[in-house]
A and B are shown apart, each in its own frame.
Chain A
Amino acid sequence: MNGLERIEKVFRMEEVDRIPWVPFVGVHGGKLVGVDAEEYLKSADRVVDGISKAVELYQPDGIPVVFDLQIEAEILGCKLVWSKENPPAVVSHPLADGVELSSLSLPEKSDGRFPIVLEATRELREKYPDVALYGLITGPFTLALHLLGTEIFMKLFEDPDYVNELMDFCTQVGIKHSEMLLDAGCDVIAVVDPMTSQIDPMSFETFVSPYVSQIFDFVRAKKKYSSFFVCGHAQQNIEVMFDCRPDNISIDENIPLDYVKEIALKKGISFGGNLKLTSVLLLGNELDSKKEAVDCLDLGGTKGFILAPGCDLPMDTPIANLQAVSEQVHNEYARQVTREMEHVSSLEPLNLEGHWVEGKVIVDIITLDSASCAPCQYMVEAVRKAASGFAGNVEVNEHKIKDVDGIRMMMALGVQNVPTTCINGKAEFISQIPRKSEIVKAIKNVMGR
């Protein structure tokens, strides 16, 4: 089963072999290829390179092509201010500055940065037929807010007809943009409407539901899938969002995953989320990221769930943290190890005084438990076999991190992965099972010193 098939199955609420994962790589792609956000988002080549790098590093099942909610706004006359580390910000609202709604026309394929997005989509489609490509569009309410500014909130009450007219226009823009993206090769249309988190369910049903539903219906008619992304405190609107009938809803850390799961399963619609973006992926370390990933994976479950960050990844998110998440997705043993390490933080590292013996080589293997973890078993067997040739000069110890002392030894040796083999305290073989000859060579090297 490839990534695209896996994601399509999840959208259809069918069982999958493992939970798929979709890292929302936006300007983070710029970091991966060493350019700033502006250069990245203005070049199809950079986007293709950035996403290719992300596919290689993070082994995703699906990935967005471009994550920038200002593309349509820019075409429709909003001024943008660019920055080095973030997507651009909208700083002017034409409808608040005297422009008439009736004077705005639907954008064309050749407008603004559409050609960049479409070109990148076509190239990535060609390159990665097995990865689900997400085409992002700005949700109609967020686009309406770009065009009109915060005035829209008061217009909900003071001039509802105008808001309806505006929402209708923004929906037509969204449908047109979706069509371009699907024609260029996207598999999924993600409607990203973060500003809806600011309104109540009744306003949502009145001013948002009738419009976004049209976009989801359009995508369905094209025999493709849709996802509804909302960032922020939108818990109040989750139920009405599902009632718009997207194929998937993706949420961030502000909404509890189990809350969304319960409604999703009841409604028979898939869901995704909600890796903590800043506190864990951006500011935390690999271990934090692993724990966070396993928590989400265990909570989400294998039916109808896609693992994803809460929103687009901050540019400087450490690559190692995202690789740590990817490892949890792809490797059952890695997940077991992470679960076992739950209580690590309260422990002190073992005191290694007296652990080393003059004239002897000490080999320590950190394992989950060689009896139940196949890679651990093979590593222990291989090392014992190699050591047997040195008679009594080499001592081999297995430390199972299912025991507190095993964990404390792991901490003392500074080991991050399981299984790992250390020779005289230095990590020599990490995760991979070495050949006997390599182990012998490593031991001889230490003896020669």
Chain B
Amino acid sequence: MSDILSKLSDCIEFGKINLASPFPPQMKEQEGADELTAKALAQGINPQDVLTQGLMPGMERVGVKFRENKVFVPQVLMSAKAMGTAMLHLKPHFLSGAAKQKGTFIIGTVLGDLHDIGKNLVAMMVEGSGYKVIDLGTDVDAAKFIAALRENPGAVVGLSALLTTTMVNMEKITQEIKQALPDTLVTIGGAPVNNDFCNKIGADNYSSDPQGVVEFLNTKVA
């Protein structure tokens, strides 16, 4: 693997956004994800390789560290921010078809629930792992999920709930989605939810952390 791509992985893993960014201290005054992505593309490296060999390994490493309690939300957000800056350079190539995303993931916090931190983390991690993410925001009803699914056939749906009272809506939405589009895969997450609940409501997967969602997608979609 080229040197520049491995440096890019490090930038994503440690949340180094650009040259000006003071974080992390050990990478001060070095180029970040922003400059290195631009440089890699300018050098003629295939955009697909920039994504799969540069950005994604970094995102995966931080996802694993998060699961192992070695880093927490702030560090993951820095990685996601670095990832986001790099993706800006890649967007035109996705549009032109020169680089392909692995699949589409539609995510939202269920009706009645306004919490978004967990949902945002999952969205960023999934996007950083090479998927197209459609974020429907918070307080989303079944009709919105189904409309997004019709526009993106074959997409996987992620439902988030942070309240015990909105778990009920999670169940309803899952059932309505399955009724309208029976082949749709639904993955759920959030503080009050667990695997038993997932089985009970007929969802396809429960993950307690964002990396779990990525792994589910990788086995089912990619």
Query: Which chain B residues border A278 with CB–CB below 8 Å?
Result: 164, 192
Contacts known (A81-B114, A278-B192); A199 close to B163, Cβ less than 8 A? no
Q: A89's contact among B15, B21, B77, B114, by CB below 8 Å, is which?
A: B114
Q: Which of B23, B24, B69, B191 contacts A232 (CB 8 A)?
A: B191
Residues of B in contact (CB 8 Å), total 26
Encoded as 1 (CB less than 8 Å from any B CB) or 0, chain A from 189 to 233 comes to 000000000111001000000000000000000000000000010
Q: Which residues of B contact A286 (CB under 8 A)?
A: none
Q: Are B112 and A83 in contact (CB under 8 A)?
A: yes
Contacts of A314 in B (CB 8 A): 164-165
In the assembled complex, which residues on chain B have CB atoms less than 8 Å from the CB atom of A232?
191
Cα(A143)–Cα(B24), bound, Å:
26
Is the CB of A259 closer than 8 A to any CB of chain B?
no
- Per the bound structure, the CA–CA distance linking A203 and B165 in Å amounts to 32
Whether B23 pairs with A158 at a CB distance below 8 angstroms is yes
For A430, the chain B residues whose CB sits under 8 A away are: none
List residues 301-353 of chain A with CB under 8 A from any CB of chain B: 314-316
Q: Does A393 contact B (CB under 8 A)?
A: no
Per-position binary interface string of chain B over residues 1-39, scored 1 when its CB falls under 8 Å from any chain A CB and 0 otherwise = 000000000000001000001111000000000000000
Cβ-defined partner of A150 (8 Å) among B21, B22, B23, B120: B120
Taking CB atoms and an 8 Å cut-off, the chain B residues in 133-192 that contact chain A are 163-165, 191-192
B78: Cβ under 8 A from any A Cβ: yes
Contact (Cβ within 8 A) A158 B21? yes
Chain B residues near A316: list those with CB within 8 A. Answer: 165
CA distance A39 to B23 in the complex (A): 46
- With A86-B165, A200-B71 already in contact, the answer to whether A279 and B117 are too (CB < 8 A) is no
Residue of chain B at shortest CB distance from A198: B73
Q: Determine which residue in B21, B120, B191 has the highest number of CB atoms from chain A within 10 A of its CB, and name it.
A: B191
Are A86 and B23 CB-contacts (below 8 A) given A153-B77, A199-B74, A200-B72? no
Nearest chain B CB to A203's CB is how many angstroms away?
6
Cross-chain contact B194 with A279 (CB below 8 angstroms): yes
Question: Any chain A CB within 8 A of the CB of B100?
Answer: no
Give the interface residue-count category, chain A: 20 to 34
Whether A5 is near chain B, meaning CB under 8 Å from some CB there, is: no
CA distance A81 to B22 in the complex (A): 37
Question: B78 to chain A: which residues have CB within 8 Å?
Answer: 154, 157
Interface string of A145-174 (1 = CB under 8 A from B): 000001001101110000000000000000
Which of B23, B74, B117 counts the most A-chain CB atoms under 10 A from its CB? B74
Q: Chain B residues with Cβ under 8 A from A81's Cβ?
A: 114
Within the complex, the shortest CB–CB distance from B196 to chain A, in Å, comes to 8
Mask: chain A, 365-385; 1 = CB below 8 Å from B; 0 = not: 000000000000000000000
Contact, CB under 8 Å: B114 / A200: no
A398 at the interface (CB under 8 A from B): no
Q: Tell me whether B81 is interfacial, beta carbon within 8 Å.
A: yes
With a CB–CB cut-off of 8 A, which chain B residues contact A416? none
Residues of B contacting A236 with CB < 8 Å?
69, 72
Knowing A279-B194, A282-B164 are in contact, say whether A154-B77 is a contact too (CB < 8 A): yes
A198 touches B72 (CB 8 A): yes
**Are A150 and B165 in contact (CB-based, < 8 A)?**
no
Pick the most buried of B15, B21, B192: most chain A CB atoms within 10 A of its CB.
B192
Residues of B within 8 A of A150 (CB): 77, 116-117, 120
Complex-state Cα separation, A92 to B115, whole angstroms: 12
CB neighbours (8 Å) of B101 from chain A are none
- Among A85, A158, A235, A315, max chain B CB count under 10 A is at A158
Residue of A nearest to B23 (CB): A157
Q: Is A57 interfacial (CB-CB < 8 Å)?
A: no
Q: How far is the CB of A29 from chain B (nearest CB, A)?
A: 16
Residues of A within 8 A of B15 (CB): 157
Shortest Cβ gap from A281 to chain B (Å) = 10
- Contact status A89-B75, CB under 8 Å: no
**A91 an interface residue at 8 Å Cβ cutoff?**
yes
Q: Are B117 and A89 in contact (CB under 8 A)?
A: no
- Are A200 and B75 closer than 8 Å at their CB atoms? yes
A-B contact pairs, 21 of them (CB 8 A): A83-B165, A86-B163, A89-B114, A89-B115, A153-B73, A153-B74, A154-B74, A154-B77, A157-B22, A157-B74, A158-B21, A158-B22, A198-B73, A198-B117, A203-B72, A232-B191, A277-B164, A282-B164, A314-B165, A315-B165, A316-B165
Interface residues of chain B, those whose CB is within 8 Å of chain A, are 15, 21-24, 69, 71-75, 77-78, 81, 112, 114-117, 120, 163-165, 191-192, 194
